[in-house]
Amino acid sequence: MKLPKRVTVCEVGTRDGFQIEPDFIPTERKIEAVNLLSATGMPRIEVTSFVSPKAVPQLKDAEAVMAGIRRRPGTTYSALVPNDKGAVRAVDAGVDDIHTVVSASESHNRANVNMSIAESIVKLKATAAVAHRGGKPVYAGISCSFGCPFEGEVPLAQLESVVSRLADLGARGIGLADTTGMANPAQVTRILEHLMPRFPKVEWTLHTHDTRAMAIPNILAAMEMGVTNFDASIGGLGGCPFAPGASGNVCTEDLVHCLWAMGVETAPGRPLSMTKRGEKMLRLMDRAVTEWHIPVIGKEKGRVIKRLLAKHAPSRGIEVGSLVGYSAILIAGHMPRGGRLTCIENNPYIAKFCQSNANHAGFEGRVKVVVGDALRVLPFLRGPVDFMLLDARKEDYLDYLKAVEARLLKGALIIADNTGIYRRDVKPYLSHVRGGAPYTSREYDFGFDCMEVSVFKG
């Protein structure tokens, strides 16, 4: 069996599960559930739905839930929306991704969202426009991709036509949902064999229901076809209130155990973003610096940094002192997708070089180099920070840290380079992160130099 090395699981229990619970789950309990799921390191959580409260009263508190959750860096928080009204609400509530819904079957689409498929597509165009303006990627789910509770079989040509219209409106990913739970592995293979080559740019997801205990076999079939994104639900909760007869989703715990048993990784979940060109540039720079003696982070420290990035999966980073961009490429390439790195470099000539190297590695838009003295620039950078690499003036390390301390997220990773060579200069910094301050800190000793690695405890 040919399996991918790593897959990404999206937890949908708080949406697909909570929407069908007979009793309204209090908002605080929903928030608590999302926070606990975040704490397990789930890479993606579909938190709730921005749908009509008349259609799904169980999720009428979507705004309050989004506002109440604690966001773990590295987790993507999404919500389901059926139309542009939902998209406006979701963007305002600060979701990371928009998940849309339309059915491959006319009768189910009518039952679910009170529209024909064509009317839904019009609404989803408007939805995509709202998402685009808000800078949110759209992932489009297709209910009843493998069969309809009212119509039975759904012709493949009909599914393909829905896929094609969703791809046209710019959906980054498409999720095929087995809403009834009646799919079987042979069917999953046949449908994916048909669709995948026709839409090579689409990132596919399989959303399964376990009505006939076929969810995991169906996931295996999709994995063999190269699909690496799967929805799953804590405790196997879930089901569409407008699809009679279907039972819960595949259970997240079962799926993750099954994947681990087969040696398929599920964490940190989001595929890292290193490019071939980025790898090649790092190798070249490694060679060049040993011959020319240029100060860069280098291979040994690089290995430790990579490991730390994989563990913490930061998404909003700052690098102070960038030089030619070696560490910028290394960091950007090992952040989860969607990660951003701001580099501050004092020397305008070198800063230009750094930016062009990062762009050349394929990280344009992900790495931004700002020219200036970090102590002046840092106070002007907005937003939360969950990663810092300190590498400019050693005697200023503590001031760099203090300039962003108020914006550090809980769990933020701070790496200070050269704390061995410049021991005296970094003394105030070391006593800050090692004693009393809200950090856990440890030293990595490489013999020729040290690196201090601290985690902000909030």
* Residue numbers annotated as active site: 240
What residue spans of 368-441 are helical by DSSP H? 374-377, 397-404, 427-434
d(CA 297, CA 290): 12
Q: Which is nearer to ligand COA, 241 or 458 (CB)?
A: 241
d(CA 355, CA 357): 5
d(CA 221, CA 128): 30
Shortest gap between Cβ of 160 and ligand COA (angstroms)? 21
d(CA 307, CA 311): 6
In the chain, the amino acid numbered 184 is N
* Contact call for residue 48 and ligand COA (CB under 6 A): no
* Contact call for residue 52 and ligand COA (CB under 6 A): yes
Shortest gap between Cβ of 175 and ligand COA (angstroms)? 11
* Contact call for residue 112 and ligand COA (CB under 6 A): yes
Give which of 159, 257, 255 is closest to 208, Cα–Cα: 255
* Contact call for residue 229 and ligand COA (CB under 6 A): no
Q: Which is nearer to ligand COA, 207 or 316 (CB)?
A: 207
**Binds ligand COA (CB under 6 A): choice among 37, 113, 188, 330:** 113
| Part of the chain binding ligand COA (CB under 6 A), chosen from 222-230, 238-246, 376-384, 398-406 | 238-246
Shortest gap between Cβ of 408 and ligand COA (angstroms)? 35
* Contact call for residue 452 and Zn ion (CB under 5 A): no
**Binds Zn ion (CB under 5 A): choice among 7, 9, 15, 16:** 16
| Part of the chain binding ligand COA (CB under 6 A), chosen from 26-34, 112-120, 152-160, 382-390 | 112-120
Cβ-based neighbour number of residue 254 at 10 Å: 15
What residue spans of 293-392 are helical by DSSP H? 298-312, 326-334, 348-360, 374-377
* Contact call for residue 82 and ligand COA (CB under 6 A): yes
Shortest gap between Cβ of 160 and Zn ion (angstroms)? 21
* Contact call for residue 85 and ligand COA (CB under 6 A): yes
* Contact call for residue 86 and ligand COA (CB under 6 A): yes
Shortest gap between Cβ of 209 and Zn ion (angstroms)? 6
d(CA 422, CA 321): 15
Q: Which is nearer to ligand COA, 112 or 355 (CB)?
A: 112
Mapped onto helix, strand or coil, the DSSP state of residue 163 is helix
* Contact call for residue 129 and ligand COA (CB under 6 A): no
Q: Answer whether 400's CB lies under 8 Å from 429's CB.
A: no
**Binds ligand COA (CB under 6 A): choice among 7, 12, 45, 50:** 50
Name the one residue in this structure whose structure tokens are 């902000």: 456
Contact pattern from residue 134 through residue 153 relative to ligand COA, giving x for each residue in contact according to CB under 6 A and a dash for the rest: ---------x----------
Bridge partners of residue 138, in order along the sequence = 98
Give which of 185, 148, 180 is closest to 248, Cα–Cα: 180
d(CA 441, CA 454): 4
Q: Answer whether 45's CB lies under 8 Å from 38's CB.
A: yes
Q: Answer whether 129's CB lies under 8 Å from 84's CB.
A: yes
62 binds, among ligand COA, Zn ion, none (CB under 5 to 8 A by kind): none
355 binds, among ligand COA, Zn ion, none (CB under 5 to 8 A by kind): none
Applying CB under 5 A, the site for Zn ion has a residue count of 1
Q: Answer whether 324's CB lies under 8 Å from 294's CB.
A: yes
Applying CB under 6 A, the site for ligand COA has a residue count of 21
Shortest gap between Cβ of 236 and Zn ion (angstroms)? 11
* Contact call for residue 104 and ligand COA (CB under 6 A): no
* Contact call for residue 97 and Zn ion (CB under 5 A): no
Mapped onto helix, strand or coil, the DSSP state of residue 275 is coil
396 binds, among Zn ion, ligand COA, none (CB under 5 to 8 A by kind): none
* Contact call for residue 64 and ligand COA (CB under 6 A): no
**Binds ligand COA (CB under 6 A): choice among 8, 14, 19, 145:** 19
Q: Which is nearer to Zn ion, 16 or 417 (CB)?
A: 16
Cβ-based neighbour number of residue 84 at 10 Å: 18
State how beta strands 450-456 and 408-417 pair: antiparallel
Give which of 384, 382, 388 is closest to 320, Cα–Cα: 388
Q: Which is nearer to ligand COA, 74 or 82 (CB)?
A: 82
Q: What is the 3-state secondary structure (H, E, C) of 114-159?
A: CCCHHHHHHHHHHHHHHHHHCCCCEEEEEECCCCECCCECCCHHHH
* Contact call for residue 345 and Zn ion (CB under 5 A): no
Name the one residue in this structure whose structure tokens are 């300190």: 390
Shortest gap between Cβ of 57 and Zn ion (angstroms)? 18
Instruction: By CB under 5 A, name the binding residues for Zn ion.
Output: 16
Instruction: By CB under 6 A, name the binding residues for ligand COA.
Output: 19, 49-52, 55-56, 80, 82-83, 85-86, 89, 101, 112-114, 143, 240-242
